[in-house]
Amino acid sequence: MFDGLWTKGTAFTDEERHEFRLLGLLPTAVKTLEQQTEHSWLEFSRYREPLDKHIYLRNLQDRNETLFYRLLRDHIAETMPIVYTPTVGEACQRFSEIYQRPRGLFVSYPDRDSLREVLRNRPQREVDVIVVTDGQRILGLGDQGIGGMGIPIGKLSLYTLIGGIDPARTLPIVLDVGTDNVELLEDPQYLGWRHRRIGDDEYYAFIDDFVTVVHEELPDVLLQWEDFATAHALPILQRYRDKLLTFNDDIQGTAAVTLGALHGAARVAARPLSDQQVVMLGAGSAGIGVLDMVHRQMVSEGLSEQQATSQIWVVDINGLLTDDRADLSPSQRKFAQPADRVAGWGVTGPAHLADVVHHVEVGVLLGLSTAAGAFTEEIVREMAAKVERPIIFPLSNPTSRAEAHPAELDEWTDGRALIATGSPFAPLQRNGREHPIAQCNNVYIFPAMGLAVTAAQATRVTDEMMRAAAAALGEASPALADPDAALLPAWSDVPGVALRIAHAVAVQAVADGVAPDRNPDQLRQRIDEVRWTPAYRL
């Protein structure tokens, strides 16, 4: 009755009510799952505020997971923005205020000597996927401390909804290593450890202890890193990616979904990536991750490593990345342009985005900067004057941090821009038609990745597996059939697309030697066998 994973609520049949001694504990009427879903949808629709809808869905998930996922499946377009971005951002900010029931594991630094006990207290013994965050860089909202738990909970909901990962085999985790958010530290309602974030030496030792325990207790689990600060995200990924089944969604997932959208955009523009000058505004871990994959794609299309690098321009808050800057990390320095290449531009001080667009024939403009409005009318119009189909992706989220709004980009380019965003936006209205805007949401990638590695029994996540996911997503672009259509599939089509992506990734895992040898038909059968669907099983 009260186990959210197994209950059927009012759908228990008369026979089951006798068998499980439930007679009298439920109202007389016996409902079907479809009737329960209809009732829950009416309840959901009564709430006006997105956060209230989010709270309702979380309560439903705690009460009846099968019904929760059936409701989401039947209303993907309406519930996705509530379960995850953008509403999950507010849910993280107000996590302590709206907290009602525990879900997942709270791994606190003060419990560092008891990590094995903490992990062994997990609700379910067998786990296929863990999503873990330390809450330091939640979306574009910054340090949310323990409130970051909302992200792993939301992500794993999508692993199940889209990828078909059994919800009983998922585990959200937040690493509570303190917070530097003064408002949280001074908030009497805050549920986390009231302490400034620990220093890097203690931090990396704690991460190492956590990974060791996870790997020993759950050696086959997929461990996804989520919303870690730039300074920590890449070092953590590099440290563990060759030691266990793991990936960072902000770095690799963002890169794959962006490349998938670029595949479609480049085809519509009739100009491959290898023939484009690409500019990225933002040099954090996500931006550099996207460019790593773009670079590999350019090389796969025939460019040398050096040629591909020369066609990629990166601008951060201090200006264009050039090789005479002393403030660059090794991953950023890889994309630094030679200083003498821009010396003749006549720019006083560092070159900025407007300077790059002015002096370079930019075909692709990407933004992962969280700098709202950074793609100005002047910059966009100058770009559009040089190329027939400018590709412009303001990818920062939440919506308030977007570098530009699609309606502005459409106006400034006379409807020629190929647009994808990081946050959801309303369709464009042009010539009496609606034009949906593709959202480069990682949900196109990570659920399929989880399904692929689970079905294929992969031991690692390789770069080529991510590129296979991007290519499969690109092949599903509606814009390939209609240039005025969105660059990415509609939400209602995502579960079906995820199956195709998962199969492509599984095949690549076998080709990369990180999964047992199976042919494509056997992998397709394995995917069908492990994929969970929301239906009562008793």
Output the CA–CA distances (angstroms, integers) from residue 11 to 43, 66, 72, 533, 535, in the order listed. Answer: 18, 11, 18, 17, 11
Which of 84, 159, 190, 536 is flagged as catalytic?
Answer: 84
Percentage of the chain surpassing pLDDT 70? 100
> What letter represents residue 186's amino acid?
E
Q: What is the pLDDT of residue 423?
A: 85
Tell me whether residue 8 is one of the annotated catalytic residues: no
SS3 content of the chain, % helix, strand, coil (to 5): 50, 10, 40
Contact between 377 and 392 (Cβ < 8 Å): no
β-partners of residue 315 are 281, 320
Q: What is the pLDDT of residue 339?
A: 95
Residue 398 has pLDDT above 80, yes or no: no
Q: What is the pLDDT of residue 399?
A: 82
**Binding-site residues for a divalent metal cation:** 226-227, 250
Tell me whether residue 444 is one of the annotated catalytic residues: no
Percentage of the chain surpassing pLDDT 90? 92
Contact between 62 and 4 (Cβ < 8 Å): yes
Q: What is the mean pLDDT of residues 471-483?
A: 94
The β-bridge relationship of strands 312-316 and 319-320 is: antiparallel
Fold of domain 1-83: Hemocyanin, N-terminal domain (1.20.1370)
Please give the Cα distance from 454 to 272 (Å, whole number).
33
DSSP string, 423-445: S--PPEEETTEEEPPEE--GGGT
Q: What is the pLDDT of residue 62?
A: 96
Q: In this structure, what token pair is assigned to residue 499?
A: 């199956």
Which of 8, 53, 69, 155 is flagged as catalytic?
Answer: 155
The hierarchical CATH code for the domain 252-440 is 3.40.50.720
DSSP string, 432-481: TEEEPPEE--GGGTHHHHHHHHHHHT-S---HHHHHHHHHHHHHT-GGGT
pLDDT tens figures, 207-262: 999 999 999 999 999 999 999 998 899 899 999 999 999 999 989 999 999 999 99
Please give the Cα distance from 240 to 247 (Å, whole number).
9
Q: What is the pLDDT of residue 320?
A: 98
**Binding-site residues for (S)-malate:** 137, 397, 441
pTM above threshold 0.75 = yes
Residue 433 has pLDDT above 90, yes or no: no
276 CB-side CA count, 13 A? 30
pLDDT tens figures, 73-110: 999 999 998 998 889 999 999 999 999 999 999 999 99
Q: What is the pLDDT of residue 285?
A: 86
Q: What is the pLDDT of residue 302?
A: 97
Contact between 529 and 59 (Cβ < 8 Å): no
CATH 1.20.1370.30 in the chain is located at 1-83
CATH homologous superfamily of 90-244? Malic enzyme, N-terminal domain (3.40.50.10380)
β-partners of residue 171 are 130
pLDDT tens figures, 491-526: 999 999 999 999 999 999 999 999 999 999 999 999
Q: What is the pLDDT of residue 537?
A: 86
DSSP string, 237-268: HHHHTTTSSEEEIIIIIHHHHHHHHHHHHHHH
Q: What is the mean pLDDT of residues 459-484?
A: 94
Contact between 144 and 91 (Cβ < 8 Å): no
CATH 3.40.50.720 in the chain is located at 252-440
CATH 3.40.50.10380 in the chain is located at 90-244
Question: Residue 63: pLDDT band by 50, 70, 90 thresholds?
Answer: very high
Specify the 3-state DSSP secondary structure of 177: coil
**Binding-site residues:** 137, 226-227, 250, 397, 441
